[in-house]
Each structure stands twice: as C-alpha cells, then as structure tokens.
Amino acid sequence: MLYFKVRYRARKKVYHYDYYSTHPYELSIENVGPARKRVKITVPAETITSKLQESMGTLKTQTAIPGFRKGKVPAHIIEKRFGESIRNEARNEIISDAWKNAIEEFELRTLGEPEPVGDVAEVVLVEGKPLTFELEVEVMPDFDLPEFDAISLTRPIVDVTDEHIGEEIERQKIRNGNLEEVEGKASEGDFLVGPAVVHLNGNDESFYKTEQTRISLPAKDTGGELLGLFIDDLGKTLDGASVGDELTIKTKGHEEHELEEVRGADVVVTFNVVQAVRINPLTDDELSSAFGLDSFDTVKEQVKLALEQRRDKDQAAVLRTQATTEIADRIEMELPEKTSAMQAERDLQRLRTELQSSGRMTLEEVEAEVAKVRSGSTEESKKRLKAYFILTKLAEHFHVDVNEMEVNTRVAEIAMQNGVRPEEMRNKLAQQGQLSQIQAVVREEKAADQLVAACTVTDMPVDEWQALQDGGSKPTKKTSKKKAPKKTASKKATTKKTTKKKTTKKTTKKS
C-alpha cells in the first residue's frame, strides 16, 4: 500500500512525488516513443545483500552433499557450486518484484511484457553494491473522450419481405444439403478434399502439413481461401480440377500476417485431390424434416422470425460501427508501434467470433472472410487497433462488466448457428483459446451500445442509407428522430503532443 503527497507546478509541468512505500526501490519513468515508457529502477545495496543472504541460507539448509550432513555444508562450497545460479535466480526475483511495484506506483496499463534495455544476462548482483537497470514497455495511449451528444448516427430501416424469406430458404437448402461424389472435373461451388503441404521460401522442410483440408471452388475469375490465406487467382488455379490431380498454389505471405514466419514469405502449397464433392440442395419437405417442423409454412414463419432477429442485430452492429468511427474521427492518439504489428491476431480472433455468431455464414465461409481480412492493409489494422483502445476506454467510462451467463449465451448462439450442442461448441472454443475473446467482444459491444444510446439516432430507409454508403448525397428529409438523454465524457478530445517527460519518484520507508 502506498501513501503519498503530490505537488504540481503547472508552468514547467513537473510532478513531484513524496512516497512512503513498503518497497525499497527508487523509480523513475520517461516517454521514449508513442505510448512507450522506460522505467529506471535502482535497487539499494542492502536489499541485494539481504536477498543474496536469504537465498544462500535457504539453499544451505536444503542442500545435501556427500561428506556433509544436510544443513552443514560450508558456505564457500555452496558458493562454488551454486553461486552463479543463486545470483541469477535472486536477480530475476528482484527484477520481477521491482517491476510489479513500478506498475502500481506509475499506474501503468501495459500492453505486453517489459523489455530490458540492454542484456539482462549482464546484470550481475554483487553483495554490498546497488543495482540499476531499465525496462521499456508499451502502454495504453492517453486520450480524452469527446462529447457524445454531438455525434449523429443513421439507422437503416428494412422490412423482411417474401423475397428475403425465399432467398434465406434457398440458402438453408444448400447449407443443409446432401453431398455427392463428383465424377470428372469439379466446377464452381464444388469442394475438393485432400492433404496439403506448405513450404516457405523454398525450404525443403515443410512449414505446415495437414492430412485433410477442404477447398471450396470459387468462380474462375475470383479469389478464395486456402489454409487461412486469401489467394487472388484461386478460382483460375483450381478450375477443372479432378480427383488424382496434384495442384501447386503459389502466393506471398502478407506483411501483417499474425505468424511472423509467413510475413513476406514465398508460400507454396501442394494440394492433392483425393475427393471431389458437391452439395445437392434439399427439397421443401426435406428442409422441414431437417428443421424438425411439421410443414413448410412453419419453416417460412421460423425463417421470417430468424431474419427479423438478424436484422435487429445488423442494425445494432451498424450503429456501433458508425458510433465508433465517429468518435475515432474526433480523437487523436499515437499508436504503440509494436502492439500495432501484433494486433493482427487479435483482429482475426475478434472477426472470427463476430462472424460465427452472426448466423450468416458456415464455418468455411467464416474462414474465407477471415482470410480476406488477413490480407488487408496495414492502415485498416491500425484503425481497428485505435477502435480497440477507444472501446476499452468506453467500457471503463460506462462501467461495463461481462458475466459468465452472457458469455454462455453467446456460445449458445454460435452453437445454434453451426448446428452443434452448446457444450461441444464451448469445448471447441476453449481449445482454440477463443472464450476470452468472446468475453472481450461482448464487453466491447456493450460499451458501443452505451455510446449509441448517448448519441442522436435518425432512422432512414435502407435504400437511401445504402445510397449514402455508395457515395450518394444525403437526403434532406429524414423519417424520424430519436435523441437519447445527454451524456458526455468528462473532457473534450484533445490532441496530444509528444513530449519527453521524466518523473522521478523517491521512495522512503514509512516511519
């Protein structure tokens, strides 16, 4: 626990801290880059001496060496045999403890593990001498939220028609259809099944191999997904393939790929076709039976209800995206460089979670969409990272929490859309490490919903709204207007200038 007084001299912007702390370290901090801090830590000589003597004493009581009784081994023998390992272990413990205290005192919101300035292996503890070392870490950017009620949003209004219902029924007939073997050449919409091997940069040793992968044949003049990579000319490469063919697909690993080895690499995939299948759509009666319903009219009613629920979800998602984009345009922040490069994996996990629960896509279609985003631009990745920081701060501003029931509800939705039991889907998501990501997505959505509620929302027919998205002019007449009670953040957005500020905290024992 810390007790301190703070004095602030505004003209020179220097903070002075008088700390009364339970730890013995002297700490200072400075900015060394966009959202990057460097912490300097000095460990007093007496702390090092005490730690080394404690470690030596513990080892002495536990060590048994031939010729000596346990606990009676001379100190110089223990030093000769274990001295270096004792000092290394004590050093690591001191660094870890000092860093925990630095996080608490400077209230650091770290984005990763700290990086030592210099080689930690060269940091040697010497009894009776102080130790000074430095660590760097990226932190959450510092920014203020703007006034929310100044943000105007447009909600697209659409009615579910018989045409929409018919299109969805046809999609469900295909999605739940029966597979049949393809004889001869496969065509658009068919699936090729077989083993695949990936090589990078001409290396003889394979980077990845799988005994079975399934590729959906895109149109001849379009691209598609293969093993998580979006291949621009995949349709042309696979056109006319048949069982027994060995196909070679070449591409370039995208610079923002989440796997460092793939970034910028020459990728060669060798795929052997052992099976080709296509889907035969179900009939009306077969679809009714597959859904466990007594008539096709009941199928139509259920599809209409599902489409209305999906429409409401889509409207909410559109408003969240609008609100997040609008607030991002009002905020300036410097993004941490290394975290920006590492953001790719989080982006893909988030997108995968959103698409799985949308109800629009099969798992294969989800992976195809993820592959497209994986090959997207660096600028888009930075925008998503900025949105992540904003949503994180909004969740704190609105005191958003996510409970286990909300996570289970989202898992159940994903399970229902993919036709599996919730327990089975939860186990699968847990194995993939996606449960924590689902919790994060739910938290961000709740924060964005709170933001939407604080903005001015206007309804608009979907065709007019779509024309706006396509670059058309904004209509002068709006259908309805709903304004939520005024809610604002505590401060207006300000542009942060990068300044190198150094703060020293002197720590003393509480008397």
Q: Answer yes or no: are the C-beta atoms of 283 and 291 closer than 8 Å.
A: no
Is the same domain home to 235 and 303? no
Q: What is the mean pLDDT of the chain?
A: 81
Which alpha helices (DSSP H) does 160-231 contain, by range?
162-175
251-276 in b/e form (b: 16+ CB < 10 A) is bebbebbbeeebeebebbbebebeeb
What is the Cα–Cα distance from 297 to 392, expressed in whole angstroms?
Answer: 45
Assigned token pair, 61: 């009581």
Is the same domain home to 295 and 398? yes
408, part of any domain? yes
The three-class DSSP label of residue 490 is: coil
Given this model, what pLDDT does residue 124 score?
80
Burial of 285 (0-12, 13-18, 19+ CB in 10 A): exposed
Which of 2-11, 66-75, 176-185 shows the highest mean pLDDT?
A: 176-185
- Confidence grade of residue 246 (pLDDT, cut at 50, 70, 90): very high
Q: How far apart are the first and last CA of the chain?
A: 14
Task: Give the domain-ending residue among 280, 310, 328.
Answer: 280
Given this model, what pLDDT does residue 255 score?
76
Question: Which is nearest to 323 in space by CA: 458, 495, 479, 475?
Answer: 458
What is the Cα–Cα distance from 281 to 178, expressed in whole angstroms?
Answer: 7
CATH number at residue 230: 3.10.50.30
489, part of any domain? no
Given this model, what pLDDT does residue 12 score?
33
> What residues contact residue 80 under an 8 Å CB cut-off, 6+ apart?
none
Instruction: Compute CA distances 359 → 392, 480, 487, whole Å.
Output: 26, 29, 33
Top pLDDT among 433 and 205 is at 205
25, part of any domain? yes
Given this model, what pLDDT does residue 13 score?
37
Given this model, what pLDDT does residue 260 score?
79
Backbone region of residue 315 per phi and psi (left: phi > 0; alpha: psi in -120 to 50; beta: other values)? alpha
Is the same domain home to 326 and 381? yes
Is the same domain home to 312 and 226? no
Top pLDDT among 319 and 357 is at 319
Is the same domain home to 335 and 477? yes
Is the same domain home to 105 and 134? yes
147, part of any domain? no
Is the same domain home to 423 and 386? yes
Given this model, what pLDDT does residue 55 score?
81
CATH number at residue 290: 1.10.3120
Q: Answer yes or no: are the C-beta atoms of 68 and 21 closer than 8 Å.
A: no
Q: Answer yes or no: are the C-beta atoms of 60 and 75 closer than 8 Å.
A: yes
- Confidence grade of residue 231 (pLDDT, cut at 50, 70, 90): confident
pLDDT tens figures, 88-107: 888 889 999 999 999 999 99
Assigned token pair, 245: 């063919």
488, part of any domain? no
- Domain hosting 390: range is 152-171+284-483
Given this model, what pLDDT does residue 99 score?
94
What is the Cα–Cα distance from 131 to 93, expressed in whole angstroms?
Answer: 13
Given this model, what pLDDT does residue 26 score?
93
Is the same domain home to 117 and 182? no
Backbone region of residue 135 per phi and psi (left: phi > 0; alpha: psi in -120 to 50; beta: other values)? beta
Given this model, what pLDDT does residue 359 score?
57
Q: Answer yes or no: are the C-beta atoms of 119 and 288 closer than 8 Å.
A: no
What is the Cα–Cα distance from 243 to 272, expressed in whole angstroms?
Answer: 8
- Bridge partners of 193? 214, 275
Given this model, what pLDDT does residue 491 score?
39
Is the same domain home to 203 and 346? no
**How many domains does the chain fold into?**
3
427, part of any domain? yes
Q: What are phi and psi of 111, to 5 degrees?
A: -110, 0
- Confidence grade of residue 375 (pLDDT, cut at 50, 70, 90): low
Is the same domain home to 247 and 291? no
In this structure, the strands spanning 502-508 and 14-20 are parallel
Please say if the pLDDT value at position 450 is more than 80: yes
CATH number at residue 99: 3.30.70.1050
Is the same domain home to 70 and 202? no
Given this model, what pLDDT does residue 96 score?
92
In 203-284 the beta strands, taken as DSSP E runs, fall at: 208-216, 224-226, 229-231, 246-252, 266-272, 275-280
Given this model, what pLDDT does residue 461 score?
93
Is the same domain home to 160 and 307? yes
Cα R_g (the chain), whole angstroms: 30
Given this model, what pLDDT does residue 498 score?
40
Given this model, what pLDDT does residue 500 score?
40
Candidate from 218-222, 278-282, 366-370, 420-424 with smallest mean pLDDT: 366-370
Please say if the pLDDT value at position 436 is more than 90: no
Candidate from 4-8, 118-122, 267-271, 460-464 with smallest mean pLDDT: 4-8
Task: Give the domain-ending residue among 280, 299, 318.
Answer: 280
Given this model, what pLDDT does residue 474 score?
53
211, part of any domain? yes
Assigned token pair, 235: 């349709």
59, part of any domain? yes
Place of tokens 């608490």: 104
Task: Give the domain-ending residue among 257, 280, 303.
Answer: 280
pLDDT tens figures, 31-90: 998 999 999 999 999 999 888 888 877 777 766 677 676 666 677 777 777 778 888 888
pLDDT tens figures, 277-288: 999 999 999 999
